[in-house]
């Protein structure tokens, strides 16, 4: 019972390098999300996809791009990484009922030097 799976779990980048964080869910959820968690800041929404084929900006989208590849997969791309993007990234999905509950992956820890 995998739920939401994120890869990689850890990554170290140099400033200016690019990378993609992958996320897949096996719960047939329509909506998917990318959050980042920073000390003292809680979780902040980067981008979300309400349904396959749509994506929208969240609270902190600058420096990121996303792709909703299909219903299962939602990737987050950093085109030119900056030290300010050092964070823990969480992917989540929503099953579509009215309770608002999101299911989260285990997180990807990214360090930009």
Of 108, 22, 109, the closest CA to residue 73 belongs to 22
> Please, what is the minimum distance in Å from the beta carbon of residue 100 to another protein?
4
Residue 12 or 79 with smaller CB distance to another protein: 12
Summarize as ranges the residues that interact with another protein (CB under 8 A): 4, 31, 33, 35, 40-45, 48, 50, 56, 58-59, 90, 92, 94, 98-107
**Minimum CB–partner distance for residue 75 and another protein (Å):** 17
Between 75 and 94, CB nearer to another protein: 94
Name the residue nearer to another protein (CB basis): 74 or 90: 90
As measured in angstroms, the least distance from the Cβ of 18 to another protein is 25
Minimal distance in Å, beta carbon 98 to another protein? Answer: 8
97 CB-contact burial (10 Å; exposed 0-12 / middle 13-18 / buried 19+): exposed
């Amino acid at each position: 019972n995998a739920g939401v799976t994120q890869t990689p779990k850890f990554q170290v980048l140099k400033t200016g390098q690019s990378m993609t964080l992958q996320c897949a869910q096996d719960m047939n959820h329509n909506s998917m999300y990318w959050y980042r968690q920073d000390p003292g800041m809680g979780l902040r929404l980067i981008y979300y996809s309400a349904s396959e084929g749509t994506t929208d900006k969240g609270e902190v989208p600058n420096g990121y791009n996303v792709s909703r590849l299909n219903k299962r997969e939602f990737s987050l791309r950093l085109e030119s990484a900056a030290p300010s993007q050092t964070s823990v990234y969480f992917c989540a999905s929503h099953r579509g009922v009215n309770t608002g509950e999101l299911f989260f992956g285990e997180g990807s820890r990214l360090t930009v030097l």
